[in-house]
Amino acid sequence: MEKLKFERPVINRISAGVPDKFGMGTSIQPISHIDDVAVQDLLEKYGSPLFVISEKTIRKTYKEALSAFKTRYPKVQFAWSYKTNYINAVCKVFHQEGSWAEVVSGFEYAKAIANGVPGNKIIFNGPDKSREDLKLAIENGTLIHIDHFDELYDIMAIAPTVGKVAKVAIRINMDTGIYPQWDRFGFNFENGEAWSAINKIMPDENMELLGLHTHIGTYITTPVAYSVATSKLAALAVRIELKYKHNIKYIDLGGGFASKNTLKGAYLPGSDTCPSFDDYAEAITSALNNSDIQYEHMPTLFLETGRALIDDAGYILGTVLANKRLVDGRRSLIIDIGVNNLFTSFWYEHHIVPSRIKQRDTEDTTIYGPLCMNIDVIRAAVQFPVLEKGDQVVIKRVGAYNMTQWMQFITYRPKVVMIDLQGNTHVIRENETHETMNSMDRIPGYLLDFKL
């Protein structure tokens, strides 16, 4: 007689709490394939853990965003936010789609140039631009977004020595009715600081004010804040036209659109609560169309959206290392994906699922990473099926910030693989090895030998 299929014995306490009024299910849908490539095959071929980028999703998301804006306003230009994910292959996909580059350091600037982006199609943001960075940016006709007065004075001093007019914009911070109000970047709108900066730039023949820029915050779930920001920038553009007979060429609303990830402490999942590209586009373009800017001088709308364009395209795959019971009886699962690779787990309740399910029972589980550090928690509490050592897990929506903010800590950073439109896989970044890490260390001669 054939033996019966065994299921692990489970006993669960029934908690008589108030049922969730939204009727959210706890059912877990495994992810066995990404763009028709099997998770198991990817891990076997490239090792675990592994970042995977779906080129198809990048292009699809980009087209959605572009279409949301272009159908409402004719002149739209996206600039890829390098800091969100500056793996060259990822940047190149965005550039192929027509995105310019938006960088915030000399390092990112060099990356964009090396990727083949023309200097005059790079937006240079951020508070840290060295005099050498500024000189190069002026030479290349890059759009320099001035962050503070010291930078403004640097440009005033450097531009005449280069012999080229510096193409500049100013970054402006403002009250858009949301909390927290970002005020650390750029010049303030309400207290007249931005107007004062404009009054310094306009008379200077070595600078040409092309644009006005703001970036109101991050993970903004209130599109109306973008309406307020757009109206304020448009009002400033009108004031410049009145005083200087000068028309601003572009208005840059920065980024900050929320992705579909769920923030810690949120009552409902981000996929249900986050605004769509259409919501943001409607808010921004309505404010522009309704502004007092003369019709023939309507500026180009620049957008530096990062998170919302790339988060969905990124996955991290990993493997279960062990199961454990905590003192209070809770189950804990140790996987080989830690906070060193998944920096965003500090603020997101990441969506984690197994690659396949053998058993439907779920238990309240704490999921830990592999690091010998107490902070290494991927999910503090999640209803999760019981997996065995060696089983595989998939975490969705990790394309933004993880492949730039990851830490080389305790262990090596993994490979990044891209699945192209035909379903072929390409390593787009190699994993670190002992040699990679050691190649940067230097040991003084007197420390070479020791006896134990």
Partner 1 sequence: MIKIKKDIAVSETGFLFDPNTGESFNLNKTGQIIFKQLAEGKSQSDILKSVLENYDIEDHVFHRYLDEFLMMLRQFNLIEKEED
Q: Which of 14, 372, 440, 447 binds partner 1 (CB under 8 A)?
A: 14
CB contact at 8 A, 274 and 259 = yes
φ, ψ of residue 128 in degrees (nearest 5): -115, 90
Could you tell me the two tokens for 164?
């080229």
Q: Which of 12, 26, 27, 422 binds partner 1 (CB under 8 A)?
A: 12
Q: Which of 9, 163, 265, 390 binds partner 1 (CB under 8 A)?
A: 9
Q: How many CB atoms lie within 10 A of CB 365?
A: 22
Q: Is the peptide bond before 180 cis (omega within 30 degrees of 0)?
A: yes
Closer Cβ to partner 1, 35 or 391, answer by number = 391
Check binding of 7 to partner 1 (CB under 8 A).
yes
Check binding of 8 to partner 1 (CB under 8 A).
yes
Q: Which of 21, 325, 434, 442 binds partner 1 (CB under 8 A)?
A: 325
Least CB distance from residue 390 to partner 1, whole Å? 12
Least CB distance from residue 55 to partner 1, whole Å? 40
Check binding of 426 to partner 1 (CB under 8 A).
no
Binding to partner 1 in span 337-376, by CB under 8 A:
361
Largest CA distance in the chain: 93
- DSSP state for residue 172 in the 8-state scheme: E
**Residue 6 to residues 3, 9, 393, 415, 430: CA-CA distances in angstroms?**
9, 9, 22, 36, 41
Check binding of 430 to partner 1 (CB under 8 A).
no
Least CB distance from residue 394 to partner 1, whole Å? 24
* DSSP-derived pairing of the beta strands 50-54 and 425-429: unpaired
Check binding of 390 to partner 1 (CB under 8 A).
no
Binding span for partner 1 by CB under 8 A among 2-10, 135-143, 246-254, 347-355 = 2-10
Length of the chain: 452
CA 154, distance to chain mean position in Å, is: 30
Check binding of 448 to partner 1 (CB under 8 A).
no
What DSSP string runs through 297-329? GPPEEEE---HHHHGGGEEEEEEEEEEEE-TTS
Check binding of 4 to partner 1 (CB under 8 A).
yes
* DSSP-derived pairing of the beta strands 352-354 and 392-395: antiparallel
Least CB distance from residue 325 to partner 1, whole Å? 6
Closer Cβ to partner 1, 7 or 44, answer by number = 7
How many positions of this chain bind partner 1 (CB under 8 A)? 15
Check binding of 11 to partner 1 (CB under 8 A).
yes
Check binding of 184 to partner 1 (CB under 8 A).
no
Closer Cβ to partner 1, 278 or 361, answer by number = 361
Round to whole Å and give the CA distance between 128 and 216: 19
Q: Which residues would be at the binding site for partner 1 (CB under 8 A)?
A: 3-14, 325, 329, 361
